[in-house]
Structure 1
Amino acid sequence: MKKLIIHGGRRLSGEVTIGGAKNSTVALIPASILADSVVNFDSVPDILDVYNLQIIMRSMNVQSSFANGELMIDPTAIEEAELPSTAIKSLRASYYFMGSLLGRFGRAVVTFPGGDNIGPRPIDQHVKGFEALGAEVEYDDDTVRITAPNGLHGTRIYMDMVSVGATVNTILAAVKAEGTTILENAAKEPEIIDLATFLNNMGAKIRGAGTDTIRIVGVEKLISNNVHTVIPDRIEAGTYLSMAAAQGDGVLVKNIIPEHLEAFIAKMIEAGVKLDVHEDSIYVPKTDHFNAIKIKTTPFPGFATDLQQPITPLLTLADKESVITEEIYPERTRHIPELNKLGMDIDNLSHGLIAIRPSTQLMGNSVSAAEIRAGASLVIGGLMADGQTVIKNSEHILRGYDRLIQKITQLNGDIRIEESDEPMH
């Protein structure tokens, strides 16, 4: 187990380059096994989830190599096999193998996925998509068995709720299905567009990605002829923008697509941060006064639930009480007691309603990262607090943040990683 050790209070300055999007990468890698050729990606983030997905693919005789942001995957000798449950349980996005295996072989057996504990995230919408396409789904203890005895056939599917995961899985299952699939009330996230772009470049026929209606005409073969560049990670970008505003003396955040962060940027400006937004970078000046704001998390293009926690420490610098309403995952509040150990004054008022009051005297402490974005908020809190902060269970953070130690060190932060003797919770 690993722990992060931060000596806080140092001002940050310089520049940081954002890596490829975690939430794209964890969909693109399972999607690659649909290809009938070798697949190449670049701008792949160096995160634990990538290595776990490689382990899962290796069990199916899919070879891959990963170095310096470049990932090669060869699915041409793929075999059906039982997937390693330890790797499956380590990340939730392993459930994308349900859609891609179903699309490739007409059947899939996947252990129930793990990942962050941020409240209930059922897979009923995924199952609805598979069944509409003609699959039969059975549950056996913690295993999901999906078969399509008569093949997969295009149809019209209406999602009862907007779900990124279910949208991705339905696309993966439908891309080689017979006929046309029309997916309504689909998620519009940039990562969905990235996935569709990757598949279309191999010969898929997907239209409408980024809107709430996606049309998929099934094809027989997918052949990759070029390198797919993963889009920049908007959640990593928002995390560094928050960090730079809270503790920076002028930080340039590079490799950003500002259109992917419009709701977040608007709230930062409302809070008093005079962001200088360029085509693919944002400069965060030193900010001496912050305004209290109200935030409500909603599906894209609204304020992302994944940025609720990273912006929380920044709001403790405001002149009055700020309020966040977490509407996507109301139980996503496990960062609050940990941030309060650093001297912050944050209350979980009711189901998903968070009050953040001004806090001036922050002191380092021993805290624990319950999941990726909760951990990111603790990193920012630790950089703001005087003295030493120790963040236990930091594997969670490293699952989602590319070269975190290196990037913060380059900004003049004092952060290092150590092995911990304590078991992970």
Structure 2
Amino acid sequence: MDRIRIVGGRELNGVIPISGAKNAALPLMIASLLTPETLTLENVPDLADVNRLLRILGNHGVDHMVEGRRFGDSPDASRTIRLSARDIVDTTAPYELVSKMRASFWVVAPLLARMGEAKVSLPGGCAIGTRPVDLLIMALEKLGAKVEIEAGYVHATAPKGLRGAEIEFPKVTVGGTHTAMMAAATAQGATRILNAAREPEVVDLAACLNKMGAKISGAGRSEIEIEGVGRLNGARHRVLPDRIEAGTYAIAAAMAGGDVLLAGAEAGALQNALDALVAAGAQVAVSNEGVRVKRNGAGLSPVDVETAPFPGFPTDLQAQFMALMTRAKGDSRITETIFENRFMHVQELARLGARIRLEGDVALVEGVERLEGAPVMATDLRASVSLVIAALAAEGETMVNRVYHLDRGFERLEAKLSGCGAVIERLSS
């Protein structure tokens, strides 16, 4: 099993290109099931989750062609993937596939909308809480589907097609909003989604569906309106930049010090996190090139943050910001409101010398003067990169084990950091 070795104490200086967003690419790829024509997606990151979803879609009959980097291209050149679901050969998504990545459960919506039936295993994924699918099922039932749970599978049927309806989510859910939009795009009549997720990835999916012929308005606001159309066509769409990757490297630059340009990053997609970095003592400048983050070596100030749905502080940056606060001059409070069990990185940060006390959904972080390298173990995607951030500022060597979590969400992490001066390498067992 691969490990990552990091020797801390080096500033980061240079340019880090921001890849396409995993959390946008996955629902966009799933949307290919809605049409028999080809959906072409540009700027798709080369990640384990993306490649796993290609295999899952292939199980349903989706053909794909990946256009990789051509001779002479920069190593940072993005991929283009062409997806063609001309014939759906299987409406069942088996446990052995879905259990490895919970986002793959979303195939239930386009399969049901196009074929009138879907049988999808209840999902797996990161161990950061239950993340139930009850709200997704509720949305499908509102649209007229009959849904039954059978031996660990969700079996949804709508032999006469789906019908537009009003769907009001009791709490904000990104997966529920994705599912409702895909299912309603070709339903008969109009659909209103109330208390919809406002994340940029939701806006990106709506933009792609509209290019395919859907009629969706209001994405990015709490109320989305959809006028169902008879069928969708193929389209070409570029995946938006990954705001979580950008926020992660912004925090890394603040942790290690130096001057880093996050090329292609969109500041508006992570403004809350950038505001927290400024409060902590980093300098942030926005330009047409992206976002530049500097820290000149002055001490970090403690900042309290509370995770919230967009446009609040992202839960997917909570672990990274906690790593930053371990070196602040004072105490900070980090409150997690989205997922239970998302403090599993605390014990591993403690191995590096961090002082963190948990009180329910609050982590109380007492800043320390220095961290020391040690062997640590990744528990989930965002927790694993928080250990990398801490290691960048730790004295001596840190060995991060179980880095397959990192490969799910960060493209070429070692190359991007080493290109800015970090001493970091992957060791294959």
After TM superposition, the score normalised by the length of structure 1 is 0.95
Letter in 2 for 1:23: N
Name the residue aligned to 1:99: 109
Name the residue aligned to 1:271: 280
**Structure 1, residues 184-240: CA drift from partner, whole Å, max 9, x if none?**
111110000000000001110001100111111111221124x21101111000000
Name the residue aligned to 1:423: none
Separation in structure 1 between the aligned mates of residue 27 and residue 425 of structure 2, nearest angstrom: 30
Name the residue aligned to 1:123: 133
1:56 aligns with 2:65: no
Q: CA shift at 1:280, angstroms?
A: 4.6
Q: CA shift at 1:296, angstroms?
A: 0.9
Separation in structure 2 between the aligned mates of residue 29 and residue 310 of structure 1, nearest angstrom: 28
Name the residue aligned to 1:285: 294
Separation in structure 1 between the aligned mates of residue 370 and residue 271 of structure 2, nearest angstrom: 32
1:79 aligns with 2:103: no
- Three-state SS of the structure 1 residue aligned to 2:99 is helix
Separation in structure 2 between the aligned mates of residue 409 and residue 291 of structure 1, nearest angstrom: 27
Separation in structure 2 between the aligned mates of residue 206 and residue 354 of structure 1, nearest angstrom: 40
Name the residue aligned to 2:376: 367
Separation in structure 1 between the aligned mates of residue 2 and residue 110 of structure 2, nearest angstrom: 33
Separation in structure 2 between the aligned mates of residue 407 and residue 87 of structure 1, nearest angstrom: 30
Choose the corresponding residue for 1:193, options 203, 215, 234: 203
Matches within 5 A, 1:172-321: 172-225=182-235, 227-287=236-296, 288-321=298-331
Name the residue aligned to 2:18: 18
Separation in structure 1 between the aligned mates of residue 388 and residue 231 of structure 2, nearest angstrom: 45
Separation in structure 2 between the aligned mates of residue 137 and residue 280 of structure 1, nearest angstrom: 48
Separation in structure 2 between the aligned mates of residue 386 and residue 70 of structure 1, nearest angstrom: 41
Letter in 2 for 1:379: V
- Three-state SS of the structure 2 residue aligned to 1:137 is strand
Separation in structure 2 between the aligned mates of residue 357 and residue 15 of structure 1, nearest angstrom: 32
Separation in structure 2 between the aligned mates of residue 139 and residue 418 of structure 1, nearest angstrom: 43
Runs of 4+ in 1 over 3 A off after TM superposition: none
Question: RMSD across aligned C-alpha pairs, in angstroms?
Answer: 1.4
1:113 aligns with 2:123: yes
Separation in structure 2 between the aligned mates of residue 218 and residue 246 of structure 1, nearest angstrom: 48
Letter in 1 for 2:122: F
Q: CA shift at 1:141, angstroms?
A: 2.2
Q: CA shift at 1:100, angstroms?
A: 1.5
Contact 1:184 1:214 in 2 (8 A): yes
**Structure 1, residues 317-373: CA drift from partner, whole Å, max 9, x if none?**
22110111111114210010001101111221x111011111223121111111110
Separation in structure 1 between the aligned mates of residue 121 and residue 311 of structure 2, nearest angstrom: 32
- Three-state SS of the structure 1 residue aligned to 2:27 is helix
After superposition, the Cα gap between the structure-2 partners of 1:33 and 1:59, relative to the gap in structure 1 and judged at 3 Å, is same
**Structure 1, residues 34-59: CA drift from partner, whole Å, max 9, x if none?**
12311111111111011000101111
Contact 1:59 1:84 in 2 (8 A): no
Separation in structure 1 between the aligned mates of residue 96 and residue 4 of structure 2, nearest angstrom: 24
- Three-state SS of the structure 1 residue aligned to 2:357 is strand
Contact 2:127 2:341 in 1 (8 A): no
Letter in 1 for 2:260: V
Letter in 1 for 2:422: G
Q: For structure 1, which runs of at least 5 residues remain unmatched after alignment?
A: 421-425
Contact 1:2 1:394 in 2 (8 A): yes
- Three-state SS of the structure 1 residue aligned to 2:364 is strand
Choose the corresponding residue for 1:395, options 399, 404, 410: 404
Separation in structure 1 between the aligned mates of residue 394 and residue 281 of structure 2, nearest angstrom: 21
1:383 aligns with 2:407: no
Total equivalences in the alignment: 418
**Structure 1, residues 102-125: CA drift from partner, whole Å, max 9, x if none?**
112111111111111111211111
Contact 2:376 2:401 in 1 (8 A): yes
- Three-state SS of the structure 1 residue aligned to 2:44 is coil
Letter in 2 for 1:323: R
> Structure 1 stretch 213-222 or stretch 272-281: which is displaced more?
272-281
Q: CA shift at 1:394, angstroms?
A: 1.0
Letter in 2 for 1:182: R
Name the residue aligned to 2:3: 3
Letter in 2 for 1:272: G
Separation in structure 1 between the aligned mates of residue 125 and residue 289 of structure 2, nearest angstrom: 31
**Structure 1, residues 253-310: CA drift from partner, whole Å, max 9, x if none?**
1111111111111111111112112245111122312211111111111111111111
After TM superposition, the score normalised by the length of structure 2 is 0.95
Separation in structure 2 between the aligned mates of residue 255 and residue 92 of structure 1, nearest angstrom: 28
Letter in 2 for 1:79: V
> Structure 1 stretch 373-382 or stretch 284-293: which is displaced more?
284-293
Q: CA shift at 1:171, angstroms?
A: 0.8
Q: CA shift at 1:139, angstroms?
A: 1.1
Letter in 1 for 2:240: I
